[in-house]
Amino acid sequence: MTIAFLFAGQGVDPPWVARDLLAEPAVAELVDLAGDAAGVDMERLLIRGGRELARPEVLQPALVAVSLGAFRLLARAGVRPDLAAGHSLGELSAWAACECVAAEDAVRAAALRGRLMAREAANRPGGMLALTGATHETCLEAVALGAGSVCIAAHNAPDEWVLSGDLAALSRIAARFRGVRLAVAGAWHSPAMAGAVGELGAALASIPRRPGRARWVANRDGQVADEPLIPELLAGQLVRPIRWVAALRTLEASGCRRLVAVGPGKMLRALVRRTLGAGIEVEMAETLRDVERAAS
């Protein structure tokens, strides 16, 4: 059976980490590394929660560490993917789950990504807006109302689009189209992040790589990507939309009948159901019990 692993991005609702995972040495090692990279006591922060955890430079390495910790446990039990896809930040986790790069390097890259995005958000403030129950035509009308100051940031489900850009323009759009503002610190996946692309791309290109065991499906176009192109695609993702619907349909067309959401996965499971229907079930691997069940 063809297996695909899915990895979440920043759109996770707290509390999103299971304490039984944190107690596992394979997970704790990566969480400690994430804390060192972010300059915080990450385990303590994950347990208590709080506003500091929402900062991109903290949340991003934390989420990649927890997700790849769960992946380590699955891999040790002999469960590995044939394909892997990540939503936004989750692409870094998926890259490591393909075993193209070390988990430690993915965590460090996530910390850099978070710092760069926070820096760009401070320079060019903005936000994001979800349009649910919307058609592509409705989405384009909303973008037009933004008069060049907003763009499409994600296609999460057939009827869910996310816009990114100027806060005032997003407020106008929300009033007309009943959009919901997302709790994010900046205009992710928009030109506001352009200043981070080169620096992140150079850092990703310098990471030691090896031939992957699994195929990596890109947010850029929802297709399987050639391994040499992955660093460029990961960096360019900062200013390009997430084509999650296309990615899920690629997994389905590739014969995947077993999808495993590794790490925090409730949002991913919901998007799979809305996109692919009830024919493909998503297993959860966000707690130790989940991991043990998936490995059995």
- 13: domain CATH number is 3.40.366.10
pLDDT band at 62 (very low <50, low <70, confident <90, very high): very high
Q: Which of 128, 123, 125, 76 is nearest to 99 (CA)?
A: 76
Q: How many domains does the chain have?
A: 2
In this structure, the answer to whether residues 144 and 272 fall within a common structural domain is no
Would 73 be classed as within a structural domain?
yes
Region of 88 on the Ramachandran plot (φ > 0 left; ψ -120 to 50 alpha; else beta):
left
pLDDT of residue 14: 67
Identify whether residues 98 and 150 lie together within a single domain.
no
Report the C-alpha gap between 31 and 285 in whole angstroms: 17
Residue 42 has pLDDT above 90, yes or no: yes
- State how far the Cα of 85 lies from the Cα of 247, in Å rounded to an integer: 7
For residue 207, which phi and psi values (nearest 5 degrees)?
A: -70, 130
Query: What was the pLDDT predicted at 49?
Result: 85
Q: Tell me, yes or no, whether 109 and 256 share the same domain.
A: yes
Output the CA angle 82-233-1, nearest 5 degrees.
Answer: 10
Token pair of 264 as six digits: 């925090």
Indicate the DSSP class of residue 226: P
CA–CA dist 276, 248 (Å, integer): 8
Six-digit token string for 69:
């910790």
Angle between helix 90-97 and 103-123 (nearest 10): 160
262 and 171: one domain? no
162, 181, 200 - which closes a domain: 181
Q: pTM here? A: 0.96
- Give the domain CATH number at 139: 3.30.70.250
The rounded distance, in Å, linking the Cα atoms of 162 and 274 is: 16
Q: Residue 197 in contact with residue 236, Cβ under 8 Å?
A: yes
Q: Please state the rounded mean pLDDT for residues 7-32.
A: 90
Do the strands 150-157 and 282-285 form a parallel or antiparallel pair, or are they unpaired?
A: unpaired
135 lies in some domain? yes
Q: Is residue 186 part of a domain?
A: no
3-state class (DSSP) for residue 83: strand
Q: Is 49 left (phi over 0), alpha (psi -120 to 50) or beta?
A: left
Q: Are residues 251 and 200 in the same domain?
A: yes
Tens digit of each residue's pLDDT (9 = 90 or more) over 162-218: 999 999 999 999 999 989 999 899 999 999 999 999 999 999 999 999 999 999 999
Residue with more model confidence, 241 or 257:
241
Question: Same domain, yes or no, for 283 and 255?
Answer: yes
Same domain, 219 and 280: yes
Is the domain of 148 the same as that of 285? no
Q: Domain check: are 277 and 154 in the same one?
A: no
CA-based nearest residue to 153, from 9, 5, 296, 6: 9
203 and 102 within one domain: yes
Within a domain: 137: yes
Establish if 17 belongs to a structural domain: yes
Q: Say if 81 falls within a structural domain.
A: yes
Same domain, residue pair 141 and 242: no
* 243 lies in the same domain as 166: no
H helix and E strand count, the chain: 13, 10
Domain with 132 in it? 126-181
> Mean pLDDT throughout 14-26?
87
